Chains A and B, each alone.
Chain A
């Protein structure tokens, strides 16, 4: 959905959604399901978990939208993304995964430098990061959250967020074979 249609959705549907109109709430769901699922997929480890986050996010949005006070353009998008990020972070906080970073060398060895596009390599490398590191790099570098906001959402310190980001980039650089030789 384009920014223009999202803005129109903000103007036309939010008031009805706030009053509990299910058709208006569905319009909001349709407008944001891709955005929410993408954020969830980037933070969660599996597509199934991302689907759970999608559902949890919209339950929260539908329950809480009457308290949503944003009026600035894009504020609904920002709020929905924030809810989705928080839900995804809560999920990875309680889910314990086997750390797959030891598989990095295997991934590098199996990569076809000439034939595979940069985005596929990056997708693979991103998935090899720890859940926390992947969440921080995505929220900071792509979604534009500050370290203070990430720390608040993760219930960690700003230093933790900064440290995770630099470690994530160092690992991505290594996995992508980008290290500069002096």
Chain B
């Protein structure tokens, strides 16, 4: 090699990603060897910089916000817990109805959507037990999807109790299947994520 190593090449060598040619040059060039040593020293100096201490205690702000969210959640759970159970019971009941035959096309679509929803619940149960570390972005995405599914479940519960039409119910089940699919995909991507 007729030139000195670039910073990119020096960093690649430090990270054990450099080429053989670059490694050979490093071993025979004093200038590059000095740069390489300074790179190591600079990183060591970065690692030795003092840790900061937060100037103010933020826990009370965090605690206060959490307490507010919990109050809102408790009010919501009063409905959504009933709704989720009702949705599962509805799916099972509708499947039994479907098995008896004599369905319209719309009813058949409902049966298919409920079956798909149940299948995704089973998949979710499997992939949700992988035991891996979850990063904050993924956890937030999952929480958001779960919240939206809870809303749909409440909507299905409401629609069922008010005896909405099959077409209206089908729209809600389509949304549920779509969100369940997104939730499963997010968990599957999480399984593929290489943690620490």
Asked if chains A and B come from one complex, the reply is yes
Report A's interface with B, CB cutoff 8 A.
20, 22, 25-26, 29-30, 33-35, 37-38, 41, 47, 50-51, 54-55, 57-64, 67-72, 74-75, 78-79, 82-83, 86-87, 118-119, 122-123, 126, 137-138, 141-142, 153, 162-163, 165-167, 169-170, 172-173, 176, 178, 180, 182
Stretch in B82-90, B139-147, B177-185 touching the partner: B139-147
New A-B pairs, 18, CB < 8 Å, besides A50-B52, A166-B8: A29-B62, A33-B59, A35-B51, A51-B58, A55-B61, A61-B136, A63-B139, A67-B142, A68-B134, A75-B133, A75-B196, A119-B50, A126-B46, A153-B137, A163-B8, A167-B7, A173-B7, A180-B38
> Do the beta carbons of B62 and A59 come within 8 Å of each other?
yes
User: B residues 130-175 with Cβ under 8 Å of A?
Assistant: 130-137, 139-140, 142-143
Does B66 sit at the interface, judged by CB under 8 A? Answer: yes
CB-nearest residue of chain B to A75: B133
B interface majority secondary structure: helix
> Do the beta carbons of A22 and B66 come within 8 Å of each other?
yes
Within the complex, the shortest CB–CB distance from B175 to chain A, in Å, comes to: 23
Within the complex, the shortest CB–CB distance from A7 to chain B, in Å, comes to: 15
Cβ-defined partner of B42 (8 Å) among A54, A70, A176: A176
Within the complex, the shortest CB–CB distance from A70 to chain B, in Å, comes to: 4
Within the complex, the shortest CB–CB distance from B62 to chain A, in Å, comes to: 5
> 9 interchain pairs (CB within 8 A)?
A22-B67, A41-B52, A78-B133, A86-B135, A86-B136, A122-B42, A142-B46, A153-B137, A163-B8
Cβ-defined partner of A64 (8 Å) among B8, B70, B143: B143
| A-contact bits for B26-43, CB 8 A (1 contact / 0 none) | 000001001100110011
Report B's interface with A, CB cutoff 8 A.
4, 6-8, 10-11, 31, 34-35, 38-39, 42-43, 45-56, 58-59, 61-63, 65-67, 69-70, 130-137, 139-140, 142-143, 195-196
> Do the beta carbons of A26 and B63 come within 8 Å of each other?
yes
Q: How far is the CA of A69 from the CA of B11 in the complex (A)?
A: 34
- Closest 9 pairs between A and B when the two form their complex, measured CB to CB: A83-B136, A64-B139, A78-B196, A166-B8, A70-B133, A37-B54, A166-B7, A38-B51, A41-B52
Within the complex, the shortest CB–CB distance from B29 to chain A, in Å, comes to: 10
Q: How far is the CA of A122 from the CA of B38 in the complex (A)?
A: 13
Known contacts A38-B51, A69-B133, A79-B133; A51/B139 CB under 8 A: no
Cβ-defined partner of B65 (8 Å) among A41, A59, A137: A59
Chain A residues near B47 (CB, 8 Å)?
Answer: 141-142
Q: How far is the CA of A49 from the CA of B173 in the complex (A)?
A: 43
Chain B residues near A63 (CB, 8 Å)?
Answer: 66, 69, 139-140, 143
Known contacts A47-B55, A54-B54, A71-B131; A172/B136 CB under 8 A: no
Cβ-defined partner of A83 (8 Å) among B55, B59, B69, B135: B135
Chain A residues near B195 (CB, 8 Å)?
Answer: 70, 75, 78
Q: How far is the CA of A16 from the CA of B195 in the complex (A)?
A: 23
> Do the beta carbons of A69 and B139 come within 8 Å of each other?
no
> Do the beta carbons of A60 and B56 come within 8 Å of each other?
no
Chain B residues near A138 (CB, 8 Å)?
Answer: 46
Chain A residues near B131 (CB, 8 Å)?
Answer: 69, 71
Cβ-defined partner of A33 (8 Å) among B6, B58, B135: B58
